[in-house]
């Protein structure tokens, strides 16, 4: 029964398709589309979107002419533009209107400059470093202007640290990995609460590694111990634990008598009372700790490459909180009464104030070419 019904439907549909339509059928079912009436659209006011406003601000940005190529450069791009000029001149290239040579040409030119220096007996480590820096600058790709670190803030890694200090409400470290440049991050950080077993004293360290993470990792672990050891020499209030003292003792073969003699000579240099700073001992402790850390990095521990070892730039700080009395009074004011006698009066009592001292020192611990910059 189902097959017969299917055949009936098929033949009926075929007969219906084979029928010719008459003129009347076209009248009944009109296939002509109706004419639509289009209304003139009123001009809409231009909406100033956020992007449009940013473009207008960008067009009105201040520019300065370059003294070399005479191009107008934005204020934010002056420093990279100048570095590109220096890099091209170091490798012997001419200005190409803002374009960079091909990577293969840059590599060949680098080898040519090094061989030229070797043949002229003018080869030095400083000259080689400048050539390598120029090579790396021209080799890298240019970051687009629209790239901002806060665009990827949701994908950033955030570390929170619990700390106890009168002047610190909280500590957080955030890092963003740029996959275009680096596959892995070489940066390390250190936060030590109650540094030297002293309350309200904290140590912070941020270490920017390059060519590997070995130097930054070792510096983040050993530099705080080296600094604490130097501070404990002139300030007994800084106390070292047993583990920290064992770390210092393990470096006994590295820092022998001839090395400590040079350190003692540096400490024995006395300045005049007018020049000597109140925190001169802390300054020297920072310098000695950085020098010792640089000497330890020259041992090549945990280094993988046999050609180029890793390094790091370090910025460290010690925050000392010094709580005073619960109330701080303003200066006494002297008034004169009608009898001509002076009387003293105090102003209202201020709430509790906790002053502090921040000691900051930074340096490049890769080659120990510069003395650590210190800010007290």
Instruction: Give me the pLDDT at residue 159, please.
Output: 61
Q: pLDDT band at 138, cuts 50/70/90?
A: confident
Contacts of 68 (CB under 8 A, 6+ apart): 85, 95
Residue 235 forms part of a structural domain: yes
| Phi and psi torsions of 275, nearest 5° | -90, -30
HEC readout, 71-87: CEEEHHHHHHHHHHHHH
Query: DSSP label at 122?
Result: -
Domain that holds residue 75: 61-139
Which residue is it, tokens 């639509």? Answer: 36
Residue 305 forms part of a structural domain: yes
- pLDDT at residue 286 above 80? yes
Contacts of 233 (CB under 8 A, 6+ apart): 285
If asked whether residues 121 and 199 sit together in one domain, one would say: no
Query: DSSP label at 32?
Result: S
Averaged pLDDT score across all residues of the chain: 72
The residue that leads in pLDDT, 214 or 331, is 214
Residue pair 186/310 in contact (Cβ under 8 Å)? The answer is yes
What are 171-213's pLDDT values in tens digits? 777 766 655 555 567 788 898 988 999 988 999 999 988 888 8
Residue 316 forms part of a structural domain: yes
If asked whether residues 181 and 120 sit together in one domain, one would say: no
Residue 36 forms part of a structural domain: no
Residue 347 forms part of a structural domain: no
Integer angstrom CA distances of residue 188 from 29, 204, 206, 225: 80, 11, 6, 16
Last residue of a domain, one of 96, 116, 139: 139
Region of 287 (left: φ > 0; alpha: ψ -120 to 50; beta: rest) is: alpha
Would the pTM of this model clear 0.85, i.e. be above it? Answer: no
The residue that leads in pLDDT, 333 or 285, is 285
**How many domains does the structure of the chain reveal?**
2
Instruction: Give me the pLDDT at residue 244, please.
Output: 93
What are 91-119's pLDDT values in tens digits? 888 887 777 788 888 888 888 888 888 88
If asked whether residues 68 and 182 sit together in one domain, one would say: no
What's the CA gap between 279 and 284, in Å, rounded?
Answer: 9
Residue 188 forms part of a structural domain: yes
If asked whether residues 87 and 157 sit together in one domain, one would say: no
């Amino acid at each position: 029964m189902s097959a017969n019904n299917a055949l009936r439907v098929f033949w009926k549909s075929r007969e219906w398709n084979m029928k010719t339509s008459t003129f009347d059928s076209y009248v009944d079912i009109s296939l002509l589309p109706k004419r639509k009436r289009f209304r003139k659209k009123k001009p809409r006011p231009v909406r100033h979107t956020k992007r449009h406003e940013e473009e207008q601000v960008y067009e009105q940005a201040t520019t300065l002419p370059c003294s070399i190529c005479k191009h107008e450069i934005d204020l934010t791009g002056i420093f990279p533009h100048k570095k590109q000029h220096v890099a091209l001149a170091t490798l012997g290239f001419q200005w190409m209107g803002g374009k960079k040579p091909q990577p293969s040409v840059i590599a060949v030119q680098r080898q040519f400059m090094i061989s030229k220096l070797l043949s002229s007996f003018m080869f030095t480590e400083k000259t080689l470093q400048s050539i390598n820096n120029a090579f790396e600058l021209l080799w890298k790709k240019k970051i687009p202007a629209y790239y901002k670190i806060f665009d990827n803030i949701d994908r950033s890694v955030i570390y929170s640290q619990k700390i106890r200090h009168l002047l610190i409400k909280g500590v957080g470290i955030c890092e963003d990995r740029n996959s275009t440049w680096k596959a892995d991050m070489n940066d390390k950080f250190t936060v030590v609460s109650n540094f030297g077993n002293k309350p309200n004293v904290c140590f912070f360290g941020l270490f920017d590694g390059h060519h590997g993470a070995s130097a930054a990792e070792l510096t983040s672990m050993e530099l705080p111990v080296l600094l604490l050891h130097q501070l404990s020499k002139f300030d007994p209030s800084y106390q070292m634990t047993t583990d920290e003292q064992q770390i210092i003792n393990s470096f006994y073969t590295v820092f022998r008598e001839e090395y400590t003699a040079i350190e003692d000579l540096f400490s024995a240099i006395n300045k005049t009372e007018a020049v000597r700073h109140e925190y001169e001992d802390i300054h020297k402790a920072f310098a000695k700790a950085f020098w010792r850390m640089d000497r330890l990095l020259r041992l090549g521990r945990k280094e993988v490459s046999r050609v180029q070892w890793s390094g790091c730039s370090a910025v460290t700080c010690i925050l000392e909180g010094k709580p005073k009395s619960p109330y701080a009074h303003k200066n006494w004011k002297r008034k004169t009464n009608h009898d001509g006698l002076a009387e003293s009066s105090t102003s209202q009592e201020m709430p509790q104030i906790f002053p502090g001292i921040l000691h900051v020192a930074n340096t490049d611990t890769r080659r120990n070419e510069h003395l650590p910059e210190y800010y007290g």
